[in-house]
Amino acid sequence: MGLLSGIHLFGLGDLEDADLYEKKQKNTERGEGHVTAIREEDILFDKNYTCPVCEGEFKTRTVRVGKAHLLGTDMDLRPKYEGIDMLKYDTVVCPVCGYAALSRYFKELTGAQIKMIENGICMHYAGREPDGAVYTYEQALERYKLVLANAIVKHARASEKAYICLKSAWLLRGMGEALDMQEQTALFKKASYEKQEKEYLDNALEGFLAARQTESFPICGMDESTVDYLIAVLAMEMEKYDISLKILSSLITSKQTNPRTKDKARDVKEILMQKIKEAAKDTTDE
């Protein structure tokens, strides 16, 4: 299954094989002596946008600032919030012409990129706007694929494409966590999501490694230590242990690495060393 499988639903079937690198959750809040459930739609609003490609005006669902409480992050920095998966609402899609990007990149277009999108996206785009007060995971994933297709067409920097892949992987992880495991097809779906997640993570690693060599910091809003930490974690997950170990060791010994990142790097290194031992044992047993 390719990164852009299903993009034909937007009328962009030619991009399905494009080369990348040329349960709704419940939340509670304490009230006057009782607990009240907060619905996902209660912390969303419609934000106005003007498309930099077709100049059309539209609205898109956005999370209200300060309304979602951060619970923590996964080892690869995926944020987890109470009551909502914020990742579902980080894409902006023009319903008129099909231009789409992550919210941080939506306005960042050159004249040449606009022409590329007009020719590669707008001329073929078939509108497909999600229904309902909230986005389902399936709808959100469709939007991420459209964002990635736009990034490929406009020849976005490696970091932007890597960041899209990373967030797509995080979204798929959330899809797996939201499954009702009592459903008959839950195990099949979870395996499918995990396979897709790994594919996106692999492409994210490739893009961040390329960006690390060719782009200036900050990259995707991250400083050098954070990017290196992320690369190390992704490399470990992709079983590229030599890359991960080299970066983690450098982070731990560098005077430029802040204490918090050093602590996280040490934790990851412990996990990595165990994985290396297990891999060596498996090789010996064979």
Compute the half-sphere exposure of residue 37: CA atoms within 13 Å on the CB side of its CA.
Answer: 6
Cis peptide before 218 (omega within 30 of 0): yes
Q: What share of the chain is helix, strand, coil (3-state, %, to 5)?
A: 50, 15, 35
Report the alpha-carbon distance of residue 266 to residue 252 in Å, rounded.
7
pLDDT single digits (tens) 196-227: 999 999 999 999 999 999 999 999 999 999 99
Copy the structure tokens of residue 250: 């450098």
Kindly tell me if the per-residue pLDDT of 9 is higher than 90: no
Angle between helices 186-214 and 224-237 (to 10 degrees): 140
Alpha helices in the chain (DSSP H): 111-117, 137-153, 158-177, 186-214, 224-237, 241-253, 259-285
* Cα first-last separation, the chain: 31
- Poorest-pLDDT segment among 6-10, 47-51, 222-226, 270-274: 6-10
| 3-class secondary structure per residue, 124-151 | CCCCCCCCCCCCCHHHHHHHHHHHHHHH
As a whole number, the mean pLDDT across the chain is 91
pLDDT single digits (tens) 63-99: 998 888 999 999 999 999 998 999 999 999 999 999 9
Question: What pLDDT does residue 37 have?
Answer: 59
pLDDT single digits (tens) 31-47: 444 445 568 989 999 99
Residue 239 φ/ψ region, left for φ over 0, alpha for ψ in the -120 to 50 degree band, beta for the rest: left
